[in-house]
Amino acid sequence: MVKSRRKARAIALQVLYELDCTRHKLEETLAHHNEDLTLDAGVQDFARNLVLGVWPARSRLDRAIQKHAPQWPLRDMASIDRNILRIALWEVGMQQTTPVKVIINEAVELAKKYGSDSTAKFVNGVLGSIADNLTALRAELAAPAPVA
């Protein structure tokens, strides 16, 4: 189960990274990534749920990231780092079905595999700060989005 969830998170990260860096359409990008790999239905479903949860909530997630990593403006943050944090924050703050320690560990593993040399430390630091303030994070993410 852990390996399949890790694989699903990696696929979700790849899809979110592609969406972040291109103008590709969500459904087409998801379909493309599912076609490329021989995945069981559970992996596909979990990856799809992550992407469909994170992508529409990214502005809320980004505000939470910015609040807990104010020294790193989102525009200067690597897309991989930003999307690893988005996935973890969505799982911790909105989905709330996986223990926080597991989510942090999974995010750090993604960071080690896909990020730069400093990504794992950065991700762990931001998520550690967030884990200390879970109630506030969940309230932030549940609040209505501000009107622009």
pTM value surpassing 0.85:
yes
Question: How many Å apart are CA 146 and CA 144, to the nearest integer?
Answer: 6
Answer whether 83's CB lies under 8 Å from 14's CB: no
Question: How many Å apart are CA 81 and CA 13, to the nearest integer?
Answer: 10
- pLDDT tens, residue by residue, 21-61: 999 998 888 877 776 556 788 888 899 999 999 999 999 99
How buried is 41 (Cβ within 10 angstroms: 0-12 exposed, 13-18 middle, 19+ buried)?
exposed
- pLDDT tens, residue by residue, 83-101: 999 999 999 999 989 999 9
pLDDT value, residue 21: 93
Question: How many Å apart are CA 110 and CA 120, to the nearest integer?
Answer: 8
The vertex-62 CA angle with 108 and 98, nearest 5°, equals 45
List the structure tokens of 51: 């992407």
Answer whether 16's CB lies under 8 Å from 51's CB: yes
pLDDT value, residue 1: 61
DSSP class of residue 133 equals: T
pLDDT value, residue 63: 92
